[in-house]
Amino acid sequence: MKKKLTKQEDIFVDEYLIGLDPEKAAKKAKYSNTAAKKQAHKWVRAGKQNPKPHIWNAIKKRLVAKKKRAETTAELAGGNRETEITTERVLKEIARLGYSNIQDFVGEDNVIKDISTLPRHVAAAVKGIETERVHEIDSEGKETNSYTDKVKLRFHSKERPLADLGKHLGIFEKDNRQQAESLAELLKTLKDG
């Protein structure tokens, strides 16, 4: 017999699916600070160490339902997957920002690559582009008609996305027993739908 969620557990699941932060979700569901800090991360993973597997099952069930709704919405919008907002896409975007690397933007000659040639998932790390046209100076110290465009790329911070992923995985918990398999299983559930 499947165990039903209590009202408090139901709120926890809803809040977890909004922010993917088990501690915040537990606090919003009015669990004690102790439960939020020491227990909530256990509820959002599979395995024998989860004292409330019915919560994990509810999360998986709602994620599958969300994915189906997103697919239906995308179909209604002409099949445009860019309009989908899913947990999987949010996690992927956070990971892209967190794991972005300056080497993706610079060629072998240490010149910035043309942004328009970069894949979208790489270019997503760029927060802004600044260009400045600088006239070259001749040997007498006078400006010439020749110029160089200096380009500066500004990137999104990596700290916040990495912190968000760490919170999601529970790696900052003092008593951390959460394993990366829970995220992998969550993503697999979304993929397999």
83/51 same-domain check:
yes
Interval 6-21 mean pLDDT: 88
CA 164 – CA 174 distance, rounded (Å): 17
Predicted confidence (pLDDT) at residue 100 exceeds the cutoff of 60: yes
169/94 same-domain check:
yes
What band does 176 get if pLDDT is binned at 50, 70 and 90? very low
Domain that holds residue 109: 102-155
Global pTM? 0.43
Interval 124-140 mean pLDDT: 85
Is 46 contained in some domain? yes
- Secondary structure of residue 146 in the 3-state scheme: strand
Q: Tally the domains of the chain.
A: 2
Q: Tokens 């008593």, residue?
A: 175
Residue count of the chain: 193
Predicted confidence (pLDDT) at residue 19 exceeds the cutoff of 60: yes
90/121 same-domain check:
no
CA 67 to chain centre: 16
CA 169 – CA 185 distance, rounded (Å): 12
CA 125 – CA 89 distance, rounded (Å): 15
29/93 same-domain check:
yes
| pLDDT single digits (tens) 143-156 | 888 888 788 888 88
Give pLDDT, residue 31: 93
79/18 same-domain check:
yes
77/132 same-domain check:
no
89/106 same-domain check:
no
| pLDDT single digits (tens) 42-67 | 888 877 778 888 888 888 888 888 77
Is 2 contained in some domain? no
150/163 same-domain check:
no
Interval 84-91 mean pLDDT: 72
Is 27 contained in some domain? yes
Q: Cα torsion at 181, 46, 33, 9 (round to 10°)?
A: 140
Query: Which of these, 56, 62, 54, 58, lies nearest to 3 by C-alpha position?
Result: 54
Contact 55, 12 (CB under 8 A): yes
